[in-house]
Amino acid sequence: MSDVPVLTYGNYLRLDTLLSCQEPRTEAHDEMLFVVIHQVYELWFKQILHETALLQRQLTGGNGAGALHTGRRIAKILKTVVGQLDILETMTPRQFASFRDALGTSSGFQSAQFRELEAVLGRREFGGYETGTDARLEVAVRRPSVFDSLLRHLDGLGYAIPEYVLERDPSIAWQPDPDVQKALEAVYRDETGHAAQVCEALVDIDEGLQEWRYRHMKMVERTIGAKLGTGGSTGAAYLRGTLFTPVFPDLWEVRSQA
């Protein structure tokens, strides 16, 4: 008789551990919602990081069809992440205030996974945060970004990506490049090809991230107004300063050339 335990739904998903992770610090009813929503965000961030790693392997490996599928999946996940704000916004300012003091100095600005996700997409500066204090983030800012992988994919397809771009130091923040935009124009002239569709999937990801920033800012405004954030940030004012900054600026700029 085998001693191997029977695999069940509960132990496969480690539900005993998962469902024991919600520990509100007050008796306020709405704190449970706040905890669950933010834990789910972190799970989605983990999944997006998992998917972007695959996306970069597919791009550098020349798998355009796979990259298209993965890019579209990431965009769909971001739509779900944004949609969860609808649930959080059912909490009134008074309901949030009933447990806000118990949060201490904790803040969503401290999400290591979200910073890592931004770095994977191409961000290289984090508002004074020292990347060397986070080993995963330090690795992410020193290796090629998703856009770097896209450019290598396009180069492999024969598009004229400049050598200086392909050999650049990926730890330096990307700046829009006219020569890259010319190559992207050529990509978009063949709208039926995988390359153009992959580029559009990355635009969807970029748009999803910008939508998240906007909705997050408005959620903070309607919950705490102009108050400082719990982690000492300027709250909505800080979030407002991050709006409308694309992670793939060349993919937006090329639309003006069409």
**What CATH code is carried by the domain that includes residue 72?**
1.20.58.480
Q: Is residue 233 part of a domain?
A: yes
Provide the residue-wise pLDDT of the chain in tens; the chain has 258 residues.
Answer: 567 789 999 999 999 999 999 999 999 999 999 999 999 999 999 999 999 999 999 999 999 999 999 999 999 999 999 999 999 999 999 999 999 999 988 877 788 999 999 999 999 887 767 777 889 999 999 999 999 999 999 999 999 999 999 999 999 999 999 999 999 999 999 877 899 999 999 999 999 999 998 988 888 888 877 665 555 555 556 666 667 789 999 999 998 876
Question: Of 244, 49, 67, whose CA–CA distance to 151 is shortest?
Answer: 67
Q: Residue 69 is which amino acid?
A: H
Q: Is residue 15 part of a domain?
A: no
CA distances from residue 205 to 71, 248, 251 in whole angstroms, order as listed: 7, 9, 11
Cβ contacts of 241-244, under 8 Å, gap ≥ 24: 242/213, 242/217, 243/210, 243/213, 243/214, 243/217, 244/210
Domains of the chain: total = 1
Q: Is residue 204 part of a domain?
A: yes
Q: Is residue 114 part of a domain?
A: yes
Is the pTM here over 0.75, yes or no? yes
Q: Is residue 253 part of a domain?
A: yes
Domain containing residue 78: 38-97+108-257
Q: Is residue 162 part of a domain?
A: yes
